[in-house]
Amino acid sequence: MKINELNLLKVSIVKDIFEARELYKSYFDISENITEYVKNIVNDVKQNGLSAAIKYTNSFDKVSFKTLTDAKLSLDEINEGYESIKLKNPELVKAIEKSYKNIKLFHEEQLAHEPETWFIEPEKGKKLGQISLALDRICVYIPGGRYVYPSSVLMTVIPAQVAGVKEIVVCTPPLKSGRLNNLLLYLFKFLKISEVYKIGGAQAIALMAYGDSKVKKVAKIVGPGNIYVTAAKKIVYGNVGIDSLAGPSEIAIIADKSSNPYYIAADLLSQAEHDPDAKSILLTDNIDIANETIFKIYEELEFIKTEYGSRFNSDSVIESLKNNCKIIYNKDINLIIEISNEIAPEHLEIMTENPEETLKKISNAGSIFLGSYTPVAVGDYIGGTNHVIPTNGTAIFSSPLGVYDFFKKSAVTYYSFNALDDERKFIEDLADTENLLAHKNSVKIRFKS
């Protein structure tokens, strides 16, 4: 049976936002079983530190580490991998260098607009302000598994470096040989990262959150991971900061009659390629575009299968399309935009006749791509904006990873004797109302002769 005979997709004609909500609603949740399983690992590492982290690494990753020396990446390994990639993959090296340049440029500009340390003197004898300081030490988590994602390393490390973080630690699962992929080793040297632990999973998150006598804890953990890593980040949050609890990746595309169904289909497929839970949604006010896009999805899927053979995981893509791809139509473009804002997608592509005008009506989206020649892949790899983006509708209250994630701010207050005297009664009255009498006394005592 051919793909276009599978009847995977159909156009959903919606009357209002409530009908649309029923189509795309989804919940990212971590099951109680996984939470309990991860909690046991986290508690073990919290109690026993590095030895417990190594125990789980040996069990899950089929290695035989015994000490910190085994689990920590050496400079010799980094240099060896760096030279190998430089020699064998010069075109990839050029792509990494270009990506680095663009990402660094974007985040340096972001830094220029980040609030700095400031003070005001609203009245004589009073000074109020804020100091802004980079975090001292953070961990970047890099997933293991079948593929290596150099773009994720660049996206997480560069903004931390631009922000001025002093110590950047990396945790990533080892290969069965106990080594790491040469491409990762190249990136570590390229980015001047020297503290790397060949430890992954929940045990890595716990080790970074709590530390032990040999491994210093961090202030924040960033970077993507599987459900076990996400569960561990949720458990340790509060002891350390985290970037987000990432759910399945997602895209929404707003398209009108001016859009190209080939491009829409290709971009929906690129999202479905992530995993079976990935979500891809077309929102359009043109029924012909909706129907044509479905046809082009089948056509492009057949082409990619033929072009790349077994390298292309078509079964996973088909599963994603079947369960999570929605083609939503309503003739009112304003309702279409309202639905997009309700979804608050991780990635939003705007393929309308005047995308910048449409952009003015967008209030909720993680990362936005304008026009027919800006697929999400641009942002994934080379554009410069960050591809660590809020998922599962959390873009209504959160932002992509940026330099601001690596700063902490402290408020500063100064009152002279006279300034405190001017306002002491207000403080005393409020403290008295709240029955916090030691608070009241802490002011009064300063005026006893």
CATH code that applies to domain 3-28+247-384: 3.40.50.1980
Low pLDDT (below 70) residues in the chain: 1-7, 26-27, 145-146
Q: Annotated catalytic sites, by residue?
A: 346-347
What are the domain boundaries of the chain?
A: 3-28+247-384, 32-242, 417-447
**pTM assigned to the model:** 0.92
Task: Report which of 225, 223, 221 is spatially closest to residue 208, judged by C-alpha positions.
Answer: 221
CB atoms within 10 A of CB 411: 8
Give the per-residue pLDDT at 319.
Answer: 93
The rounded mean pLDDT for the chain is: 94
How far apart CA 196 and CA 180 sit, in angstroms, is: 10
The widest CA-to-CA distance across the chain, in whole angstroms, is 94
How far apart CA 182 and CA 186 sit, in angstroms, is: 6
77-79-83 Cα angle (round to 5): 120
How far apart CA 68 and CA 198 sit, in angstroms, is: 10
Q: What whole-number percentage of the chain has pLDDT above 70?
A: 97
Q: Same topology for domains 3-28+247-384 and 32-242, yes or no?
A: yes
Token pair recorded at residue 211: 């530390």
How far apart CA 402 and CA 161 sit, in angstroms, is: 11
Task: Report which of 379, 377, 400 is spatially closest to residue 388, judged by C-alpha positions.
Answer: 400
Give the per-residue pLDDT at 404.
Answer: 96
Give the per-residue pLDDT at 144.
Answer: 83
What phi and psi, each to the nearest 5 degrees, are found at residue 436? -100, 80
CA dihedral 68, 71, 77, 82 (to 10 degrees): -130
440 CB contacts (<8 Å, ≥6 apart)?
A: 427, 428, 431, 432
Distances, alpha carbon 358 to alpha carbons 110, 241, 304, 337, 370, in Å: 24, 35, 31, 8, 9
Task: Report which of 42, 74, 69, 72 is spatially closest to residue 56, judged by C-alpha positions.
Answer: 42
Query: Could you tell me which residues are beta bridge partners of residue 369?
Result: 349
Distances, alpha carbon 320 to alpha carbons 185, 271, 304, in Å: 33, 9, 16
* Domain 32-242 CATH (choose: 3.40.980.10, 3.30.1300.10, 3.30.450.20, 3.40.50.1980): 3.40.50.1980
Give the per-residue pLDDT at 6.
Answer: 57
Give the per-residue pLDDT at 73.
Answer: 96
